Amino acid sequence: MKRLLPTLRADNAPEGLISVLNTLQIAAKEISFRLHQGALAGVLGSTLDENIQGETQKKLDVVANQLLKTLLLESPRVHAIASEEEDSIVLSPNSGEYLVAFDPLDGSSNIDINGTVGTIFSILPKPETPSNDESMFLQKGRHQVAAGYVLYGPSTMLVMTTGNGVRTYTLDQTVGEFLLTKDTAAIPADTQEFAINMSNQRHWSNAVREYVEHLLLGEEGPRQKNFNMRWNAAMVSDVHRLVTRGGLFTYPWDARNPEKPFKLRLMYEAAPMAMIVEQAGGAASNGYMPILDIEPEHIHQRVAVIMGSANEVQKCVEYHEKHG
């Protein structure tokens, strides 16, 4: 089986980008080991601290963030990093050509129940005249040169793109290497599966309420087909299902907190996942425009997310257009 680095070189990826991706996969292996040790490694449970998002940090959130931060800042190819767990960007002592944004452990509420979690990353080019503040990172998702996620499940999988399709690698524990296990991901245009947190239904917009109501009506409703619902409470695993067999994942606007009407972060979650989904033939929208065309306003910006099978995403967008 092919290893990660040779496949990147076969795609003619720049050596600097290969170096950054190599650093990320080294960190992923260490995070995977600690996760699979579970209680034996003393990484379960919460800390007494909150991150910049106002969320109580899990112990492994802190461990994963520090591992990625340390290794990336040591890389000569990295200029700065931005993490969901950090208040602001962190400049590297090196003046590399890339910026890396990441969610060190998506779905961390699943850690203590031995559920699936993951790491999401986005790699951007450093501007020609870097400002050395967060404005460097405020680039549309279309500018990403690579994006990916690591899924820590029964097996540890790396799913990534450098703009030439989506490949899947599986960590072979016997040799300690990510090996290519799927050369091309293709999301079917149509689906009968969707993923949404139904407990928030009463807070949704009229557009999303009507869309989901019509899905639930099945064959007897206006959609004239039955749908199944799946929800793993971790974006990384719900999106992995899309990449594997299609479907629709959405985390829409809701009315509970006017100051935080959206859940998912644009730079750490929505944009990198949108790049992967589009590269696999799917679509990704906030209900009104493609996620990759959104101009970020700040590094911790949150957005509505609809992504997956292209025809189903378009159908959901039509409900948003109908309601305005």
Q: Which residues carry a binding-site annotation for Mg(2+)?
A: 84, 103, 105-106, 269
Rg of the chain over CA atoms, in angstroms?
19
Tokens of 289: 């425009």
**In this structure, what are the phi and psi dihedrals at residue 249, rounded to the nearest 5 degrees?**
-120, 130
Known binding-site residue numbers: 84, 103, 105-109, 197, 263, 269
Provide the residue type at 81 as one letter. I
Known binding-site residue numbers for substrate: 106-109, 197, 263
CA distances for 129 relative to 95, 132, 171, 181, 301, angstroms: 12, 9, 38, 39, 23
CA distance 324 to 8: 43
CA distances for 295 relative to 54, 248, 308, angstroms: 24, 24, 21
Q: In what order do the strands lie in the sheet with 146-152?
A: 90-91, 78-83, 98-106, 117-125, 146-152, 156-161, 167-172, 177-182
